[in-house]
Amino acid sequence: MLPRTFDYGGKLATMYKDIDLCLTEAKQLKVPMWVGSAVVQLWFQAMTEGRGEDDYTTLIQMIEKWAGVTVGGNDLGTGE
């Protein structure tokens, strides 16, 4: 994310599936996963935006848009 190449090598859709499976298993085992529940919602938002085929590191771009910031890039963090 910091070098802004967004090419780590994993699809958002695959990671979303894995997170969802983890939460399903945890629920069956009655293991609370408070943070995991929030995480799956964040990834689901990315999926609804059509980012499923994107590298999962692009998730930061969605958060950057909400926050009005850019992570990484130059020393000022503006990406310019």
User: So what's the pLDDT on residue 77?
Assistant: 47
Residue 74 lies in a domain: no
Closest to 37 (Cα-Cα) out of 51, 54, 19, 64: 19
Q: Would you give per-residue pLDDT tens digits along the chain (80 residues)? A: 666 777 777 898 998 999 999 999 999 999 999 998 888 999 999 999 999 998 888 888 888 899 998 887 655 544 44
Residue ranges making up the domain that contains 49: 12-67
Q: For 68, left (φ over 0), alpha (ψ -120 to 50), or beta?
A: left
Residue 1 lies in a domain: no
pTM above 0.75, yes or no: no
Domains held by the chain: number: 1
Residue 61 lies in a domain: yes
Residue 78 lies in a domain: no
